[in-house]
Structure 1
Amino acid sequence: MNSSFDYCILGAGLAGLSLADSLQEHDLEVCVIEKDDIGSGASGTPGGLVNPATGRRATKSWKAEACYEAIAENLEMVSHYSKTPFYRNNGVLRPALTKKMAGKMRERFRETTWSEGWCHWLPEVEIKEKHPGITCIEGGLWLPVGITVDVGRYLQAYGSYLQEKGVHIITGFEPKPNNSSTGWEIRHNGHHVDAENLVYATGYGTLSVEYWKNIDFHPIKGQVATFQSNSDPLGFDHSLSSLGYIANLGGAEDNTFIQGSTYEHDFEDTAPSTYGKDYLRKRLRRILPGLEEHSEIIDQWSGVRLSTPNRKPVLGRHPEIQNLHLFAGLGSKGLLYGKFLAEHYVDHLLNGTDLFDEISIHRMLEKN
């Protein structure tokens, strides 16, 4: 292969594929290079939620409506490129586990303007009617708009969709780009890629890139486990968000579910561990003790994502190299943020619109 592109994107996760999609929509020539396989990094979790109420207080996510619309439309479009379903519009239940938590969640719910039908406060009795056996104190939230996604399968289907649209995707080698007077050059095993612009969407791998050494990233390891009930089917259709989350991809008649996630700021390696298993089982026992008692872990996954001081992604040009870009730090909200921010960055690149202050790279550079 010997080709020239307008943009070469390093990384085929949520950030990289979303950006490739948005660039290609404007008839730009795009190449994506991934050192492993599509969705092989932290983006490729087997179970994730599109949940616009985050944190212990269930705070409405930043740009929730715009982000939700972008990912919901994209999931539907990409679904036609997968042989098996990879997402469900099944809602998310958020029970409060203590009186203090209930008070803070209810207060935040009352002071937040939610789109009609997005979020409801349910008293304890209704939460327990909706989900018998669940731990709940005083009530919680029901979000009918919640979506459960097998993110790894979504990204694989997304890659197929983009390739059909004309995006070149190369996997299986770690690129070593060289900056020249005309742009960027990448050569490896018969591949010769020339690109006017280079974008790093490499997630955890960004920490080892000299160009971005001054960006204040914080790596966080997350582990999830696939559980299988040894007794009856689950009996509930929705997913849960409480002390992590339970992603229900199979519905009420299935007997498997995904429990996530650990939030490990100090870790020695990136592999799944016994600590992860114990932690996730303990969390499950707190929320659904009956289900935990009759379930076993049949698979485990881990990945490392990047967070920032304000827990928002980082987008922008390198301060000294104008044809070098960064799209990273999506953290735990990559599924919700990815497509919307890709469209926002392309609008910035092509039309000169200002980046949102909360996600602009300038907020990070001004501190250094």
Structure 2
Amino acid sequence: MHHQTDYCILGAGLAGLSLADAFQKADFESIVIEKNSIAAGASGTPGGLVNLATGRRATKAWKAEQCYEAIAQNLEKVQSRTHESFYQKNGLLRPALLEKMARKMKAQHEKTSWPEGWCQWKSKAEIQEIHPGIQCVDGGLWLPIGLTVDVGSYLQAYARYLSEKGIPIQTGIDAEIAQSEQGWNISFDNTTIQARNIVFAIGPATAQSKYWDWLPLNLIKGQVATFSTGEEPLNFSHSISSLGYIARMGTRNTFVQGSTYEHDFTHVNPDQEGEEYLRKRLRRTLPQLEEKVSTVDQWAGVRTSTPNYKPILGRHPRNSTMHVFTGLGSKGLLLSKFLADHYVDHLTNGTALYPEISIERVEE
């Protein structure tokens, strides 16, 4: 069987599926090839946050308004079409755990322009009124617009949605890739795809690609754990960002605690050290809760980061038919849809890429 397409996208994570969606909207044909299953890689975490106040100082995220609008609309679009519940707008609490942290967070908040109602500074008493028993020193932030997402379920629903829209998505495929006069031949089983362009959206595998091994990518292992309170229901519905994050999903007695940041790792599986690290962080924020929860599941993935903590998007410097979208790090959920739309706009209308994310900022 032979297929022709404008773009063959390697990778069906947040980057790859968002690109396929954007290409179709711009009237380009695309095919998505995934080596593993949907949500098998770093994008498939069982719990993630759309958090617009990032880092130790709770700095407003890059292009926060545009990114939030893009992902919020996409989550609603996919959920409404698939009739599955994989996200909720339940708010995000960011308590300060040290006086120095509180001062810096408050100062950052006071000098930042936020849309009305998006981010509010709360005193210690107000934080503890929102969440009794939480550790807090001198206040913190409350973001009513915070989103909590079962990212793995979102990706599976997104893939089904795109498939129903006519975008072929092939999983479990270890394809052979060769350049041709027309662009690229991607071969697997008895199938050959002739693509004018090829896009690498393969996460940490980018660092091992012979085409992209020169990119300045750092590989970071992250582990998360799902904790349960057993028969006792949790007394809060929001999520929390504090020494990692607590993703509060729709269930009455479970939540996801994340994440480790392991730069030197010898395997990619969940382990006891990861669970102990996550429990230690939970203990700092919610000591009474940590004492009574049991671990019901663990997950691990490897994500890519870059020196300026921004993704890398663009054409290969020596081959204009080869593209890359990588380096989403821990902000893939927030950035992926906005940047996919931005890149397709760049390809179709010649819009300049934002210099912070353009491949032109790095040298081969």
Counterpart-to-counterpart distance in 2, 1:270 and 1:227? 21
In 2, the alpha carbon distance for the partners of 1:28 and 1:231 equals 51
- Note if 1:56 corresponds to 2:49: no
Equivalent residue runs for 1:92-107 within 5 Å: 92-107=92-107
1:167 corresponds to which letter in structure 2? I
Tell me the amino acid that sits aligned with residue 351 of structure 2. Answer: T
In structure 2, what is the Cα distance between the partners aligned to 1:190 and 1:51?
44
Distance 2:174 2:270 in 1: 23
Match of 1:324 in 2: 322
* Paired residue type of 1:208: Q
Of 257, 260, 269, which aligns to 1:259? 257
* Counterpart AA for 1:317: R
Which residue identity lines up with residue 327 of structure 1 in the other structure? F
Please give the alpha-carbon distance, in whole angstroms, between the structure 1 residues aligned to 2:88 and 2:231.
Answer: 24
- Quote the residue 1:284 is aligned against: 282
The residue correspondences of 1:85-164 to structure 2 (distance < 5 A) are 85-164=85-164
Q: CA deviation at 1:175?
A: 1.9
Q: Could you give the per-residue CA deviations for residues 216-243 of structure 1, whole angstroms, max 9, x where no partner exists?
A: 0000110000000135211111000000
What letter corresponds to residue 194 of structure 1 in structure 2? Q
Cα distance, 1:28 vs structure 2: 1.0
2:204 alignment counterpart? 204
Whether the 8 Å contact between 2:82 and 2:161 is mirrored in structure 1 is no
Paired letter, 2:260: T
Q: Distance in 2 between matches of 1:200 and 1:146?
A: 30
Q: For residue 212 of structure 1, give the secondary structure of its aligned residue in structure 2.
A: coil
- Cα distance in 1 for partners of 2:7, 2:146 equals 34
Q: CA RMSD for the aligned pairs?
A: 0.9
CA–CA distance in structure 1, aligned partners of residues 341 and 213 of structure 2:
26
Query: Could you tell me which residue of structure 2 aligns to residue 233 of structure 1?
Result: 233
Cα distance in 1 between the residues matched to 2:6 and 2:207: 25
| CA offsets 1:298-340 (integer angstroms, 9 cap, x no match) | 0000000000000000000000011000001011000000000
Q: Tell me the CA shift for residue 42 of structure 1.
A: 0.3
Query: Cα–Cα, structure 1 residues 231 and 134, in superposed 2: closer, same or farther, change >3 Å?
Result: farther
Displacement of 1:43:
0.5
CA contact (8 A) 1:231 1:294 kept: no
Whether contact under 8 Å (1:81, 1:157) holds in the other structure is: no
The equivalences for 1:214-363 within 5 A come to 214-230=214-230, 232-250=232-250, 254-363=252-361
How far apart are the structure 2 equivalents of 1:159 and 1:103? 44
| Cα pair 1:81 1:158 within 8 Å, conserved | no
SS in 2 for 1:177: strand
TM-score norm. by structure 1 comes to 0.97
Inter-partner Cα distance in structure 2 for 1:230 and 1:4: 53
Cα distance per residue 1:19-65 (max 9 Å; x no partner): 00000111211100000111211001000000100001100000000
Q: How many angstroms apart in 2 are the aligned matches of 1:357 and 1:27? A: 26
* Secondary structure of 1:357 counterpart: coil
Give the Å deviation of 1:207.
1.1
Question: 2-side partners of 1:164 and 1:83: how far apart?
Answer: 14
Residue of structure 2 in register with 1:171 after alignment: 171
Shift of 1:158: 0.4
CA contact (8 A) 2:316 2:323 kept: yes
Amino acid in the other structure paired with 2:9: I
Whole-angstrom distance in 2 between the partners of 1:94 and 1:126: 12
1:75-113 deviations in whole A, cap 9, x for unaligned? 000003445310000010000000011011001000100
Using a 3 Å threshold, how does the CA distance of structure 1 residues 361 and 57 change in structure 2: closer, same or farther? same
| Contact kept? 2:109, 2:121, Cα under 8 Å | yes
**What amino acid sits opposite 2:234 in the alignment?**
L
Give distance in 1, aligned partners of 2:107 and 2:247: 26
Letter in 2 for 1:321: N
CA shift at 1:350, angstroms? 0.6
Q: Is the 8 A contact 1:313 1:331 kept in 2?
A: yes
Stretch of structure 1 that moved more, 67-76 or 23-32: 23-32
Kindly tell me the number of residue pairs found equivalent between the two proteins.
364
Equivalent in the alignment of 2:67: 67
TM-score computed with the length of structure 2 as normaliser: 0.99
Residue of structure 2 equivalent to 1:180: 180
Distance 2:176 2:274 in 1: 34
Q: Secondary structure at the match of 2:362?
A: helix
The letter for the 2-side match of 1:280 is L
Q: What is the alpha-carbon distance in structure 1 between the residues aligned to residue 216 and residue 287 of structure 2?
A: 39
> 1:236-276 CA deviation, whole Å, 9 max, x = no partner?
1100000000000126xx11000000001110011111111
Tell me the distance in 1 between the aligned counterparts of 2:267 and 2:352: 39
The one-letter amino acid of 1:213's match is: D
